[in-house]
Structure 1
Amino acid sequence: MSDQPKAPVTPVPAHEPPYYAAVFTTVRTQEQDGYRETNARMEELVKDIPGYLGMDHAQTPGGLGITVGYFRDADALAEWRSHTEHRMAQRRGRDEWYRNYTLHVAKVERSHTFVRPPEN
């Protein structure tokens, strides 16, 4: 057990619409060599894209992975889609890491956040 406190789990906060959400759902293969390192690198790189707003991740016990990336506009999303290292990771994902995946891109027209006040 680690002595380090865990950061609280919080979703990406709501942003002023409109903006875009890229919803990437996956089922991975047994072959995962290099996946964690590549995933960490992608999380570093996307932060440098102007218009990147944040990312949420979830994994079900059954193996369905869900990643939602949020982008201010279609240009930011297009820049991430065409980023050279991201394209290489996409190819490796298809060749090695994903049994299947689906990508949905949506324009967010309404967004809000709720945060429960701390109890005293």
Structure 2
Amino acid sequence: MSDHPEAPVAPVEAYEPPYYVAVFSTVRTQEQSGYGETNARMEELVKDIPGFLGMDHAQTPGGLGITVGYFRDAEALAEWRNDAEHRAAQQRGRAEWYRSYTLHVAKVERSHGFTRAQVPPGPAAG
């Protein structure tokens, strides 16, 4: 379920490879004080990184969270990794918010997408 039901649901578009993805999978602790504000700030901050392409999020009912960040090149990803405010959020995440996490970074070599065409409703069958 989305926190923003009015927001359209769509994955980040398929870009022309190569580009990079950072897949961050988490299980959070019960202590989440300040998490929402920090997460919103990180989403705002990463958008200023030249070469940032977008981000997808998913959360399972069992508590597994997955965030995928898309970056045009390794330099953009390195700039995000080394951002001082992001580094501080990472430290707080390890100290308070995450029971466990994994980070996978990969170079995308193939990418494509699909979007179903919207068909206008026809006259009612009678």
Query: What's the TM-score, normalizing by structure 2?
Result: 0.91
Q: Deviations over 1:20-44 (max 9, x none)?
A: 0000000000000000000000000
Distance 1:114 1:5 in 2: 22
Distance 1:103 1:22 in 2: 7
**Is 1:19–2:44 an aligned residue pair?**
no
1:107 is displaced (CA, Å) by 0.3
Pair 1:5–1:93, CA change in 2 (3 A): closer
Letter in 2 for 1:84: A
Q: Residue 87 of structure 2 aligns with which residue? A: 87
Give the aligned length.
117
If you compute each CA radius of gyration, which structure gives the higher value, 1 or 2?
2
Distance 1:29 1:7 in 2: 27
Q: Residue 71 of structure 2 aligns with which residue? A: 71
Identity of aligned residues (%): 79
| 1:51-62 paired onto structure 2 within 5 Å | 51-62=51-62
1:5 is displaced (CA, Å) by 7.1
Query: What's the TM-score, normalizing by structure 1?
Result: 0.95
What's the Cα RMSD here? Answer: 1.2
Unaligned runs of 5+ in 2: 121-126
1:113 is displaced (CA, Å) by 1.1
1:7 is displaced (CA, Å) by 1.9
1:13 is displaced (CA, Å) by 0.2
Unaligned runs of 5+ in 1: none
Q: Deviations over 1:28-81 (max 9, x none)?
A: 000000000000000000000000000000000000000000000000000000
Which stretches of structure 1, 4 residues or longer, exceed 4 Å deviation after superposition?
Answer: none
